[in-house]
Amino acid sequence: MLETTIAPPGVESAVRCRGLVKRYGELVAVDGIDLDVRVGECFGLLGPNGAGKTTTVEILEGLLERDGGDVRLFGLSWDHDERALRERIGIQLQETQLPEKLTVEETIRLFRSFFRRGREVDEILEAVQLTEKRKTWVSRLSGGQKQRLSVACALVGAPDLLFLDEPTTGLDPQSRRALWELVEAYRAGGGTVVLTTHYMEEAERLCDRVGIMDRGRIIALGSPQELIASLDAEHIIEFSLPEGASLPPREELLALAGVTALHQRDGTVQLVVREPHAALPALLDALGRHGTGLADLRTHHATLEDVFVAHTGRQLRDG
Amino acid sequence: MASRLDRSPLAQLTLARFREFLREKEAVFWTFVFPVLLAVGLGVAFRNRGPDVVAIGVAAGADAGRLAAALGHAEGVRALVLPSDAVDDALRKGRVALVVASRPDGLHYRFDPTRPESRLARLAADEALAPLAGRPLPPPARIERVTAPGARYIDFLIPGLIAFNLLGTGLWGVGFALVRMRTGKLLKRFLATPMRKSEFLFSFILARLSFLVLEVGSLLLFARYAFDVRVHGSIAAVFAVAILGAMVFSGIGLLVASRARTQEAVMGLMNVVSLPMWILSGVFFSAEHFPAIMQPLIRALPLTAVVDALRAIMNDGATLAAVAGPVTIALAWGVASFAAALAIFRWR
């Protein structure tokens, strides 16, 4: 894990970092992370709030000093090639308040002026579907429109690498889909994306590879399909018991047909199973034998959320 | 196709400052309308009236009629005969500035010597009552009455208001705007682009300079046509000092904003900086009123320096060379505050 060799020039690695460490006093926010993001790839950091995603990304973006480790983007380092790198990357930060009393068009033109090369304002407006709003003040945009403008400001420099930090947090489903399409269009043009999210469906839809982060470390890394397959079972049975009822012994449940893992939290039990049609009757039998009823029962396909639970015993949304 | 202006970060940043300012109604009000309203208000309140009239009371008694008549004939004196039990009350409430009573051993005066109008009343009474005592004063050989433009309160006020406005717009236009950008993470967002920090900061200066022409020009024009306030020195010198003042106060605004993370914090700092200067620097009344021991401190304040230089040029027709003292003080403040601000500025 902790190899320190750096990719030689010419190797197509958009992001390469080794042994990244960031401390805030006693707290270790980033605890020795290694990452490689290939050119043309969409890489996602998935994890609960406070896992260290934003800290990691801001170090990669050259906005935060690291306490240890090495970062290269396209083989260049922030210590020596800052201006060249700034020209090549686009950044969308969490919670940036763009000037309220500038129009959409003025805002994009302002950001465009900072880059030597880039895209025309009209072209960007079209790409983020804000052409009709070009004369509207930023303060009068909806949340989704503001977010698209924020991404537009990251795209004006025609970046080779785009960083998105929680791009759809707080957006309604329709705005979220519009933003996903924007990211997919950028990738279709050959762009590389690094994004953070705590929405598993976002990671599953957009990302080629995902790193699941918890407490400053990457605890699982791979494509969404690989990570879900690593659970060794593709389905989840989730149930809870009526108040006062006691659960049959763990060993008995784990021994049921097709059950590969069991997680318990706040009165809810999760069974990771290969075949729900075999496991479900077995579970009901077992509960019947103990004379226990059910308060709630659900089954679903395993998701990245279940991968997180399998590694940490906690839910993503628990933070 | 994009023009050269579209591709210039400095032009776009300055334009953004302009647009944000002009689209903020409150900012326009405080910068352009408020100083004019203040000039109107203070100009009317302290307009030059006729010579002040002092009221002198005469305690009721045998001689009261004769005393009142003698006082009434004197210039600038109004005489009132008061019943003896009303004397103290009239003095306390300021209805009269002095009470004269005729007693067997001569005239008695009652007044509060700490009140300027009482001392004035005493002199007037001495003069008016002297003939009764049989020793008339010789009249002055010549009396000159001076109310020329340049010596009125409004003439004193306008240079002060210009400097006061420069301080306010420097602190708000630079300091407050920067902190708002910091709390909104906009500074950090700009930093994430290839934008040059120097161009960003320079855009604030450029925007301030452009507004200054409007700000100072509108107040000067208003004062000229509403109150006939004239600039006795050169207009170029007035603008030179105004530009210097705008730079100095922008530097102070930058310094005040260099670390503050919240708008509340920067507002507190702005008050700490500006309130003492509004009081001490002689904007609304002459700083000479403060004790001599404070004068070196007052002279060293940047607002005092700018006010003094503007007043000397506008009212006394001084040249730039003649105001080199205050200009040097202001310049030192400007250089020091810019240097300090850039050294400790927090970009995130």
Q: Check whether residue B94 and residue B213 sit in a common domain.
A: no
Q: Which helix (H) or strand (E) holds A22?
A: strand A13-24
Which of A91, A99, A110 is opposite residue B192, by nearest beta carbon? A91
Q: Check whether residue B172 and residue B218 sit in a common domain.
A: yes
Q: Is A278 exposed, middle or buried (0-12, 13-18, 19+ CB in 10 A)?
A: middle
Q: Check whether residue B60 and residue B199 sit in a common domain.
A: no
Residue A6 has pLDDT above 50, yes or no: no
Q: Check whether residue B205 and residue B314 sit in a common domain.
A: yes
Which pLDDT value is given to residue B51?
A: 61
Which pLDDT value is given to residue B71?
A: 84
Handedness of CA B328, B329, B334, B339 (dihedral sign): positive
Residue B259 has pLDDT above 60, yes or no: yes
Domains of chain A, earliest start first:
13-227 (3.40.50.300), 232-301 (3.30.70.980)
Q: Check whether residue B119 and residue B175 sit in a common domain.
A: no
The mean-pLDDT minimum among A80-94, A134-148, A235-249 falls in A235-249
Residue B164 has pLDDT above 70, yes or no: yes
Q: Check whether residue B73 and residue B194 sit in a common domain.
A: no
State which of B133, B167, B191 marks the end of a domain: B133
Chain A residue with minimum CA distance to B12:
A110
Domain count for chain B = 2
The C-alpha of B188 sits at a distance from chain A's nearest C-alpha, in angstroms, of 8
Task: Please list every residue in chain B whose beta carbon sits closer than 8 Å to the beta carbon of residue A123.
Answer: none
Q: Check whether residue B106 and residue B127 sit in a common domain.
A: yes
Residue written as tokens 């070196």? B296
Q: Check whether residue B180 and residue B263 sit in a common domain.
A: yes
Does A101 sit within 8 Å of B19, measured CB to CB?
Answer: yes
- CATH number of the domain to which B66 belongs: 3.40.190.10
To the nearest whole percent, how much of chain A has pLDDT over 70? 95
Which pLDDT value is given to residue B50?
A: 57
Residue B148 has pLDDT above 70, yes or no: no
Q: Does residue B138 lie within any of the structural domains?
A: no
The C-alpha of B180 sits at a distance from chain A's nearest C-alpha, in angstroms, of 9
In chain B, the DSSP E strands lie at 54-59, 77-82, 98-103, 106-110
Q: Does residue B141 lie within any of the structural domains?
A: no
Which pLDDT value is given to residue B136?
A: 59
Task: Please list every residue in chain B whose beta carbon sits closer than 8 Å to the beta carbon of residue A113.
Answer: 6-9, 11-13
Which of A97, A109, A137 is opposite residue B185, by nearest beta carbon? A97
Tokens linked to B150: 């340049």
Q: Give φ, ψ of A91 to 5 degrees.
A: -130, 130
Which of B20, B184, B195 is opposite residue A97, by nearest beta carbon? B184
Q: Check whether residue B114 and residue B61 sit in a common domain.
A: yes
Residue written as tokens 């015993």? A313
What is the pTM (predicted TM-score) of this model? 0.79
Q: Is A193 exposed, middle or buried (0-12, 13-18, 19+ CB in 10 A)?
A: buried
Higher pLDDT, residue B131 or B197: B197
The answer to whether residues B302 and B277 touch, using CB atoms and an 8 Å cutoff, is yes
In A266-310, the DSSP E strands lie at 268-273, 296-301
Q: Does residue B23 lie within any of the structural domains?
A: yes
Residue A150 has pLDDT above 50, yes or no: yes
Which pLDDT value is given to residue A7?
A: 45
Substitution target from B3, B26, B193, B198 for chain A, most A beta carbons within 10 A: B193
Q: Check whether residue B27 and residue B64 sit in a common domain.
A: no
pLDDT (mean) for B319-345: 94
Average pLDDT, chain B: 86
Residue B292 has pLDDT above 60, yes or no: yes
To the nearest whole percent, how much of chain A has pLDDT over 90? 60
Q: Check whether residue B17 and residue B128 sit in a common domain.
A: no
Residue written as tokens 């969308």? A92
Q: Check whether residue B225 and residue B261 sit in a common domain.
A: yes
CA distances from B241 to B140, B213, B249 (A): 44, 12, 12
Q: Does residue B61 lie within any of the structural domains?
A: yes
Q: Does residue B270 lie within any of the structural domains?
A: yes
Residue B9 has pLDDT above 90, yes or no: yes
To the nearest whole percent, how much of chain B has pLDDT over 70? 92
Domain coverage including residue B221 = 9-46+152-344
Q: Is A55 exposed, middle or buried (0-12, 13-18, 19+ CB in 10 A)?
A: buried
Which pLDDT value is given to residue B48?
A: 62
ipTM at complex level: 0.85
pLDDT in tens, B214-239: 889 989 999 998 888 889 999 999 99
Which of B16, B194, B348 is opposite residue A115, by nearest beta carbon? B194
Q: Does residue B143 lie within any of the structural domains?
A: no
pLDDT in tens, A88-105: 999 999 888 999 999 999
Q: Does residue B145 lie within any of the structural domains?
A: no
Euclidean distance between CA atoms B220 and B35, whole angstroms: 11
Confidence of residue B135 (pLDDT cuts 50, 70, 90): low
